[in-house]
Amino acid sequence: MTSLTTIASVHLAAEAEKKSAEVTDWAARIGWVVGLLIFIALVYWLMRQGWKWRGSLQSDLPALPSAPDAPGEPLRTSTGRYHGSTTAGQWLDRIVARGLGVRSRVELTLTDAGLDVVRPGATDFFVPRSALREARLDKGIAGKVLAEGGLLVVTWEHGGTLIDSGFRADRSDEHADWVTALNHLIHTTEGAR
């Protein structure tokens, strides 16, 4: 009988230890999810406000020039990506005014008149030959860092501001030829002045 009593007491103790699984607190879980979504929305709103604020600080930048009706025969053409523009020599100081901060596909055409930058879905612009200052290979511009020489950077003047614009051709082996062609055009312009 003692063994029966022992078995019964063990069985009762095991039953007492059994608990039902905890029920998910849906109200708390939904509250956390809603709070997280509100936080993410707030961060994006603040980023947008910062972008607009930067644009208003740079509002003194004049309208971008457009290509002349007869720019001349193309010396070089290429397609690729436009990665943005910064204040010359300050690769993290992005310029967002006049649409220069918008990344996009790009079609570059160099003529004797200057550099035509056609950007589907963004503002096109033209850099007159007299505004071109330098072309070089670099590794980065605000928001984009590549291997050394992976970025074609064109320095130009607009409204009294020196601007660096970064491009990456679909075929990066074209970059050196672009630097040579642009610098040749710049130096022949300087000689004519």
Chain centre distance of CA 72: 32
Whole-structure pTM value: 0.73
Question: How far apart are alpha carbons 109 and 101 in whole angstroms?
Answer: 20
Of residues 14 and 172, the one with the higher pLDDT is 172
Q: Give the model's pLDDT for residue 14.
A: 59
Q: Beta partners for 81?
A: 105, 168
Pick the CATH number of 76-192 from 2.40.50.140, 2.40.10.10, 2.30.29.30, 3.40.50.1260: 2.30.29.30
- d(CA 156, CA 161) in angstroms, rounded, equals 8
Going from N- to C-terminal start, the domains of the chain cover 27-57, 76-192
Q: Which two tokens stand for residue 145?
A: 């860092």
Q: Please check the confidence at residue 4 and state whether its pLDDT lies above 70.
A: no
pLDDT digits (tens, 9 = 90+) for 85-112: 999 988 888 888 888 888 999 999 999 9
Over residues 69-80, the pLDDT tens digits come to: 888 899 999 999
**Number of Cβ atoms within 10 Å of the Cβ of 51:** 13
pLDDT of residue 23: 72
Residue 170: is it exposed, middle or buried by C-beta count within 10 angstroms (0-12/13-18/19+)?
A: exposed
Non-local CB neighbours of 62 within 8 Å, separated by 6+ positions: 158, 159
Closest CA to 123 of 142, 156, 100: 100
pLDDT score recorded for residue 57: 78
pLDDT per residue over 131-148, tens digit each? 999 999 998 888 788 888
